[in-house]
């Protein structure tokens, strides 16, 4: 625990700019980093005054909770993206309206769905790309009426 407390105090000390960068560094720590801290603490502990077993178990429990929360966050993010792709695929062939990334109005028939690092995007028949989050209206695409002439033979 003392190694983690030392790291925390070192990250929080110093000028405001180093404190800001320290806060970013602390936010980017992973559960593996905490395990390394614990191993380092165990290797460097005073043999005449060992670390309290209850504190060690508490720290291990907190690390397990962090790992579970991280796994849950990843799973939820993946499920949201899958849900967006399913919803977007249901829009293929539909007339959609919305705004592009520059807030310019767009309208067109959805011809494809793309997944990128920025999210789920709809490709319109006009060639434009509409972010799924910017869709404002969805309607059935107008159908072009084709009249077929047929001649029926008298019976």
- Give bridge partners of residue 132 from the DSSP assignment: none
pLDDT of residue 17 exceeding 90, the answer is no
Per cent of the chain over pLDDT 70 is 75
Residue 57 is predicted with a pLDDT of 81
Asked if 95 contacts 41 with a C-beta cutoff of 8 angstroms, the reply is: no
pLDDT of residue 21 exceeding 70, the answer is no
Q: Domains of the chain by range and CATH?
A: 2-81 (no CATH), 91-140 (2.30.30)
Residue 145 is predicted with a pLDDT of 60
What pLDDT digit, counting tens, does each position of 62-74 carry?
878 888 888 899 8
Euclidean distance between CA atoms 96 and 107, whole angstroms: 6
105-116/119-124 β-pairing: antiparallel
What pLDDT digit, counting tens, does each position of 92-139 carry?
999 999 998 889 999 999 999 999 888 899 999 999 999 999 999 999
pTM score over 0.75:
no
Euclidean distance between CA atoms 69 and 141, whole angstroms: 43
Nearest by Cα to 127 from 109, 145, 144:
109
Average pLDDT score over the chain: 78
């Amino acid at each position: 625990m003392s190694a983690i407390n030392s790291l925390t105090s070192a990250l929080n000390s110093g000028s405001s700019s180093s404190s800001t960068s320290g806060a970013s560094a602390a936010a980017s720590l992973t559960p593996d980093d905490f395990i390394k801290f614990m191993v380092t603490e165990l290797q460097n502990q005073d043999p005449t005054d060992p670390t309290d077993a209850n504190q060690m178990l508490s720290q291990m429990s907190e690390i397990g909770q962090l790992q579970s929360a991280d796994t849950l966050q990843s799973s939820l993010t993946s499920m949201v993206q899958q849900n967006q792709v399913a919803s977007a695929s249901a829009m293929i062939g539909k007339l959609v309206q919305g705004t592009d990334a520059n807030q310019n109005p767009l309208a067109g028939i959805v011809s494809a769905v793309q997944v990128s690092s920025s999210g789920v995007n709809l490709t319109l028949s006009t060639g434009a790309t509409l972010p799924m989050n910017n869709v404002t209206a969805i309607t059935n695409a107008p159908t072009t009426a084709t009249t077929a002439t047929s001649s029926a033979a008298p019976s």
